[in-house]
Structure 1
Amino acid sequence: MPTMTLQIPTEDGQADAFAAYPDGGGQHPGVLLYMDIFGVRPVLEEMARELAGHGYYVLVPNVFYRNGPAPLVELPEHIGAEARPTLFGRLVPLLEEHTPERVLRDADAYLGFLAGRPEVGAGPVAAIGYCMGAALAMRTAAAHPDRVAAAAGFHPSALVTDAPDSPHRLVPGLNAEVHLGLAESDMTPEAISEFEQALDAAGVAHTCEIYPGTLHGFTMADTAAFDPVALQRHWDRLLPLLDRTLAKG
């Protein structure tokens, strides 16, 4: 399966990225895959390969590129509880610097890059994300309703906040089918209800599901939160969503 590392021109510099796509040439629907806070690394590259094997061109940008190329921090082979305080101490400030304005500038660049790739078809794309990437996917989908036909977030963070530009307030801009796969502690029942009410009011097709017995980060095989059953459930939800919304050539 072809893979490559890339540099994507943005308004603020060059974003390094990983891409995977099917063998055999031709054009394929694009999928923009937003990383979790730990960044672009082998586990995300493997997820991109898995998606590419189902017929998609998958782009995984390092959204923290302004601070340097991935990896920005040295990660242990297995991210357990003992490593998290140090890692979060270095990475959370980068997340706080990644403002909604930066997110949208970068989304323009990532979608423009996909539109210009000869391996990517002319139809709509999907935006999916993990942890913090779920909010980035929702912001991207809301800002580009003509381009993004599917938006998915798994073990999401910060989808419902008090901010005037909280992702849940952007729902009226969506033209994408949405799936949220939640760990049991990701969002309060009140926050889930508020997000679903916004989706219902906007007429957005969606599913919002708590994956039973899971911890935040359940899809990530290099973390202590990993749950192989929940990872499979995630594929069982994500692949049909992409199949329904993205036209394969």
Structure 2
Amino acid sequence: MPRITDTVTTADGSCPVSLHTPDGDGPWPGVVMYPDAGGARPTFRAMADKLAEYGYAVLVPDVYYRDGDWAPFSMTTVFSDEAERTRLFGMMAKVTPEIMATDAQAFFDYLADRPEVSGSSFGTTGYCMGGRTSLVVAGRLPDRVAAAMSFHGGGLVTDDPSSPHLMADQITAAVYVGAAKNDRSFTVADGEVLDKALTAAGVEHTVVFYDAFHGFAVPDNEPYDEPAARRHWEAMRSFFGAHLG
């Protein structure tokens, strides 16, 4: 699959990105794929290649670019290694909802200017922290997001004013949430709260719990679950096909 390495100019600097497109002639609908807490890495570039095969131009951003040339995390040890866990959480804390929206505006402008990309509204999808980002961006930039997906996303229902469920009435995109079982970061009760908020706001949506643990869709995560991952790919093919054309 064609893959372009580039940078996107944001309000805070230059964000490294990769743009993945199908073989053949475009243009194609654009999708921003937000990585999990481990950040942009080969696993996500391979996942973007796979999504591109479905007929999309897929942008993978380095959401930690403010930390410069940061050392990659090992997803098998990062949460058990105290020093690495502290480094990870410190980087995650810098990616605030305000920064998510500001960066997303730059990502969408970049996609809109690319000859490979069609349209002026886009899809978003994300995993773990990126799943929250996907919905935050849909709420803060409703005119730019036509379809938003979240897989084993955490923090979708919190007491913080920036919680995605509290922005439901600002979302105009269709929403799909594929949650994990026994996930303290997004419980069954949280799913009910989010579902009610989206319903009250008139948002077309699906909130479904997969029979797999947090991290099920990302191959280098220890809880990766192949059947659940296949189901998530089928959901993306169907959902984006319906809402991005």
TM-score (norm 1): 0.93
The structure-2 alpha-carbon separation of the partners of 1:75 and 1:94, relative to structure 1 and needing over 3 Å to count, comes to closer
1:21–1:49 CA contact under 8 A, matched in 2: yes
Structure 1 residue matching 2:142: 3-state secondary structure: coil
For the residues of structure 1 that align with 2:64 and 2:36, how far apart are their CA atoms? 11
Which residue of 2 is the match for residue 244 of structure 1?
242
Runs of 4+ more than 3 Å apart: none
For the residues of structure 1 that align with 2:43 and 2:86, how far apart are their CA atoms? 22
Q: Does 1:174 align with 2:186?
A: no
Count of paired positions: 241
The amino acid across from 2:162 in the alignment is D
Alpha-carbon offset, residue 146 of structure 1: 2.0
Which residue of 2 is the match for residue 85 of structure 1?
80
For the residues of structure 2 that align with 1:178 and 1:184, how far apart are their CA atoms? 19
Once the two structures are superposed, the pairs formed by residues 107-118 of structure 1 within 5 Å of their partners are 107-118=104-115
Structure 1 residue matching 2:51: 3-state secondary structure: helix
Alpha-carbon offset, residue 123 of structure 1: 4.6
For the residues of structure 1 that align with 2:23 and 2:8, how far apart are their CA atoms? 22
For the residues of structure 2 that align with 1:232 and 1:63, how far apart are their CA atoms? 26
Structure 1 residue matching 2:107: 3-state secondary structure: helix
For the residues of structure 2 that align with 1:151 and 1:241, how far apart are their CA atoms? 9
2:111–2:117 CA contact under 8 A, matched in 1: yes
Which residue of 2 is the match for residue 58 of structure 1?
58
Cα deviation code 1:113-157 (max 9, x no counterpart): 111111100253101110001111111111222221110000011
Which residue of 2 is the match for residue 13 of structure 1?
13
The counterpart of 1:145, out of the listed 132, 142, 145, is 142
Q: Does 1:24 align with 2:24?
A: yes
TM-score (norm 2): 0.94
Alpha-carbon offset, residue 182 of structure 1: 0.9
1:6–1:18 CA contact under 8 A, matched in 2: yes
1:123–1:246 CA contact under 8 A, matched in 2: no
2:146–2:172 CA contact under 8 A, matched in 1: yes
Q: CA RMSD in A?
A: 1.3
The amino acid across from 2:140 in the alignment is A
Mark the runs of 5 or more structure 1 residues left unpaired by the alignment.
none
Mark the runs of 5 or more structure 2 residues left unpaired by the alignment.
none
